[in-house]
Structure 1
Amino acid sequence: MPDFTREQQHGGRVAGVDEVGRGPLAGPVVAAAVVFGAGVPDDLAAVIDDSKKLKPAVREAIAARLPDVPGIEIGLGAASASEIDTLNIHHAAHLAMQRAVARLPRLPDYVLVDGNKLPSFGCRAEALVGGDALSLSIAAASIMAKVVRDRIMARLDVRWPAYGWDRNSGYGTVVHRAALSSAGVTPHHRKTFGTVRRQIEHLAMEGRA
C-alpha cells in the first residue's frame, strides 16, 4: 500500500501526479495533481491505492471525498485525441500532467510523478516507477484522473453509443473494434493508433473515408 513517507521527506507542498488513458483507441489522456497540504486522514490513507487495483465504486467514493479533505489541492488536466495524434501519446501525457499541475492554486515545492520520465513543471520533481503503489499523493491523483476520464467517456458514449465507451473507456475491446468497422471513426478516435489508422486506410480504399 502507498504511504506518505516521500511527501514527508521532501517537506513543503508536494504534489503527486499521475495520468490515465495512454492505451485506449479513443478519448483524451487525463492527468491529476494532488497536494495533501495537511496530511492524509488515517481512514482515507487506509483505502487509497493504485486506481487499477480498486473497484469502480471504491474509486468513486474516494474521489467524492477527496475535495473535502482539509488542506487538499487538486488540479486536473487533459490532452485531446487530436493533440495525441499531433504530439504522440508520450508527449500528450506529459502535456496533460503539466496542465494538471498548472491548475493547482499555486506551483508546488516538489512534484512526484508516476513513471520513469519527467515533464518540466517549473519546480523540482522526481519520477517514481510504480509511484501509484508508493505514494499516497500519486495514488490519489491516479484515482481522480481515472474517475474523471471514465466520466468523460460515459458522456461521449451518449453521443456515440455504438462503441461501448461507457463500459470500455475507449479501450480496444471486441465491441469497440467491431463498431469501428460498422460505424466508422469518430472525431474522438486517435487516428495515429494502429487499429484506428488501419480502419481509416481500409475505408479510404473503399472510398468511404
Structure 2
Amino acid sequence: DSKLLSREDRERLAARIRSRAVAVAVGVCSPEEIDELNILWASMEAMRRAIQKLVPQPTYLIVDGNHVIPDSAWPVEAVIRGDFKSQSIAAASIIAKVERDRLMHHLHEAHPEYNWISNVGYPTRAHYEALSSHGASPLHRRTFNLENPYPPFSEAATEPEQVDGHSSTR
C-alpha cells in the first residue's frame, strides 16, 4: 500500500518506476465528475483515461479491488488487495499517490487555508476545522460529508493519530 511508505520513499520509488516502466500515465477526474458519477465510477473513468494515454497500449489489465473497468477494450482482471499481490498494481499505486500529493501541494498555493500541503486532502481534524471556518472551496466534492466528525478539542483524545504519515489529533 503506497500510503504505508514515507513521502520520501514514494518519491524515490516513483522516479525509479518512471525510469524503468514501459509506459506510465495518470488519469484524473474533477470534483464535479466525482460528484456526478460517484467515487467508484469516477475512479473507473480516471483509469480509462490513463489507459488511453499509454503508449504502447496494453494488451491486458490488472486493477486493484473487486471491480473491473466496464466495457473495457482490453481483458481486465480485478485483484483484491492487488497492491500487496502485484508489482504492477503496487507501482501504479505509488505513481497515483505521488501525483495526487503533488496536485494537493499545487492546490495549496491557491487555497492555503485548508493546509493541503500538510494533510494532502485527507480528512484530518485541522481540515474539518478549516471547512468549518472557511466553508468548502470549489475543489471540495459536494457529495463528500463535510461535517466535522471530531468532537471539540477539549473532548478529544490526546494521542496523535497517523494519517498518511502526518500527525493528526483526534
SS of the residue corresponding to residue 172 of structure 1 reads coil
2:108 matches 1:154? no
2:51 matches 1:51? no
For the 8 Å contact 1:110–1:125, the answer to whether it is kept is: yes
Structure 1 residue runs of 4 or more that deviate by more than 3 Å after TM superposition: none
2:62 matches 1:112? yes
For the 8 Å contact 1:114–1:129, the answer to whether it is kept is: yes
CA RMSD in angstroms comes to: 1.2
Match of 1:168 among 119, 126, 139: 119
Task: Write the distance in 2 (CA, Å) between the matches of 1:176 and 1:75.
Answer: 29
2:113 matches 1:130? no
For the 8 Å contact 2:23–2:56, the answer to whether it is kept is: no
Where does residue 184 of structure 1 map in the other structure? 135
Task: Show the 5 A alignment for 1:62-73.
Answer: 62-69=13-20, 72-73=22-23
Structure 2 unmatched runs, 5+: 148-170
Task: Write the distance in 1 (CA, Å) between the matches of 2:17 and 2:56.
Answer: 18
Please report the TM-score for the alignment, with normalisation by the length of structure 1. Answer: 0.67
Task: Write the distance in 2 (CA, Å) between the matches of 1:76 and 1:111.
Answer: 15
Please report the TM-score for the alignment, with normalisation by the length of structure 2. Answer: 0.82
Task: Write the distance in 1 (CA, Å) between the matches of 2:142 and 2:59.
Answer: 38
Task: Write the distance in 2 (CA, Å) between the matches of 1:141 and 1:193.
Answer: 25
Where does residue 45 of structure 1 map in the other structure? none
- Return the offset for 1:162: 1.0
Aligned length: 146
For the 8 Å contact 1:76–1:99, the answer to whether it is kept is: yes
Identity %: 46
